[in-house]
Amino acid sequence: MKAEAPILAAEGVSLRFGGVRALADVSFEVRPGEIFSIIGPNGAGKTSMVNCISGRYRPTEGRILFDGQDITRTATSRRAALGIGRTFQNLALFGHMTVLDNIMVGRHHLLRTGFVRGMVYWLGGAQREELAHRREVEEIIDFLEIQHVRKAVAGTLSYGLRKRVELARAMALKPKLILLDEPMAGMNLEEKEDMARFIVDLNEELGMTVLMIEHDMGVVMDISHRVMVLDFGRRIAAGSPEEVMADAHVKRAYLGEPDEAAHDDAEHATA
Amino acid sequence: MTSMTPAGDFRSSYRADTTIFPTRSSMMATIAGVALLCAAPLVFGRYELGLLITIGFSAIAALGLNILVGFTGQISIGHAAFFGFGAFASALLVEYHVPVPLAIWGAGLMTAVVGLVFGAPAARLKGLYLAIATLAAQFILEDFFARARWFSGGVAGRVTEPYELFGLRLDREETYFYVVLAHVVVMFLAAGNLMRTRDGRALIAVRDHYLSAEMMGVNLAYYRTLSFGIASFFAGVAGALYAHYLLFVSVEAFNILYSIQFLAMIIIGGLGSVMGSMMGAAFMVLLPEVVQAGADLLAGSAIDRTLRLGASISFLREMAIGAAIILFLIFEPDGLAHRWKMIKAYWKLYPFSH
């Protein structure tokens, strides 16, 4: 991978809720075209980090740059147009809409029809625009193999399918960077394999940069280009999957090894 | 639940798959229904036509409220005040020599502006707090109607002109019925179109999951406020139609009880359903008539004499409305529109419905 300008950069991001420190001085960079994973024990601040990037939380300190532009204070709803899409840890589909409509909401920032032209569907070009975007949405539906449920109401789908529809909705934004918060949580092996394949495909074929939180170490180590480990809101390691796996801090955080087992800290100090 | 497309209905283009009606036969049925309604003045008397006219403008107002409550997930208990504003606004415009057909739409726009002002808190408030804020709107507007004589004629009310198009006076039930019908068709098509395009989907997204809607680029404050504007526009047009039907507008009509009736219409008809708004309006307008007919039948009968109901029979009407709302909330919370869907599904699969 070339040393390009990072697509996303967090610079000393801290986040406090009252006395609780969710994130403490976290810095990292995501390069264009890579799959970057954040791992860490429960409560390590992974989702808080993603929430800072997507705009749900505003960092107490530090700043976040996307494509070289400071987005720390950009309104959440403006970030879709910049090129940031995301899925949620706990399903966040529009439960009463069909799968198709859910994905069409993802096109929101790309559509130009306001409510007045929407009401006179046939006259103001609304129909033409709808049909053009429908075509692109169908491509995403094909890509994720959810043709059979496109007219189903999202709230009635199985868990694995809902996760897939959420991914479809995020992809419909045409994001440069897609944030996936535990895309494989609660899935069976087969569903996990499918999801891993989709993530690799959308990264390689569609060129979307992926920032992913995931607990399944097998998947993370298999498909990530680089991994960052958080523990108690602090970055304790970052690097290639192999480097991170060998890191003593990481072993301690995950396996609870006693301190003496990590006596060789200095040797493994990471980038 | 998969889609309800009937067997043999294959769509080979996206255009055919995005029609406003779910199936071709449902479109035919709707067109036939409107055509049949056009013949209503030949069949019905003035009283029945009056009921149909009432259903018509109530349905437009209920549809507006449904866009706000059912589709966007906001709440308003001041809808009747906006309905009233539309009625007065149209009467006022007519006084300034605006022709009635234009005044109706002008009144809708004026009401939309007022709705946007009162809807501004909606960008920040939710649930019960918003309910109280809209209650305030109800009382502020009612008070305004009573005091602003230049606008509403004060306590005395305001007289207005009948609908007139190309020199034709449409002031009798037989003719005004067509005016209301035309407005109903236009408004329902507009709402149906809105809900299948960008901004309509955004409204529903705000209702279903506002956090992820925001992430999809939907500006919450804008759409929450916009929804008030659209709801008020519908209420305003409906109020104007009411004004040019009765030809006299007075402040007492637009009280909070009327607001609650609109809420009852959309709950009974089906929250988040365009056609449900029509069904709910028809139900709420016809229910008192049916109960009244029942009460008249009961009066002086054997049951009346044994139970000595006497004058209390006339209260049956009010009780029936209350009972209907409670029963619907318990047994059919998704409203008549949902029940209708179930009936259709039953016949489609008959006799293998289980």
What residue spans define the domains of chain B? 40-349
Looking at B173-177, B217-221, B295-299, which range is the least confident one?
B295-299
C-beta separation of A105 from B216 below 8 A: yes
* Structure confidence at residue B4 (pLDDT): 53
Residue A238's contacts (CB-CB under 8 Å, 6 or more residues apart) are A28, A226, A227, A228, A229, A244, A270, A271
C-beta separation of B181 from B264 below 8 A: no
Please report, rounded to a whole number, the percentage of residues in chain A having pLDDT higher than 70.
93
* Touching B: A residues 29-58, CB under 8 Å: 54-56
Q: Which tokens sit at B294?
A: 């029942």
Model pLDDT for residues B307-344, shown as the tens digit of each residue: 766 666 667 777 777 888 888 888 888 888 888 888 87
When pLDDT is cut at 50, 70 and 90, the band that residue B9 belongs to is: low
Contact list, A47 vs chain B (CB under 8 Å): none
- Torsions phi, psi for A180 (to 5 deg): -115, 115
> Does the pLDDT value for residue B3 go beyond 70?
no
Residue B13's contacts (CB-CB under 8 Å, 6 or more residues apart) are none
Bridge-based pairing of strands A234-239 and A226-231 is antiparallel
Q: Could B191 and A152 be called an inter-chain contact, meaning their C-beta atoms sit closer than 8 Å?
A: no
Model pLDDT for residues B179-221, shown as the tens digit of each residue: 999 999 999 999 999 998 999 999 999 999 999 999 999 999 9
Residue A153 gets which letter from DSSP?
Answer: B
Sign of CA dihedral A65, A140, A169, B227: positive
CATH 3.40.50.300 domain range(s) in chain A:
1-83+176-271
Domain A1-83+176-271 is of which CATH architecture? 3-Layer(aba) Sandwich (3.40)
> Does the pLDDT value for residue B235 go beyond 80?
yes
Q: Which pTM was predicted?
A: 0.88
Neighbours of A171 (CB within 10 A): 23
* Touching B: A residues 148-187, CB under 8 Å: 149, 151-153, 156, 169, 173
Domain B40-349 is of which CATH architecture? Orthogonal Bundle (1.10)
Please report, rounded to a whole number, the percentage of residues in chain B having pLDDT higher than 70.
92
Determine which helix (DSSP H) or strand (DSSP E) holds B228, and give its type and residue range.
helix B220-246
> Does the pLDDT value for residue B24 go beyond 80?
no
- Nearest CA to CA, how far is B201 from chain A (Å)? 6
Beta strands in chain A (DSSP E): 8-17, 20-30, 35-39, 61-66, 69-70, 84-87, 177-181, 209-213, 226-231, 234-239
Q: Using CB atoms, which residue from A85, A101, A117 is nearest to B201?
A: A101
Q: Which tokens sit at B243?
A: 């004004």
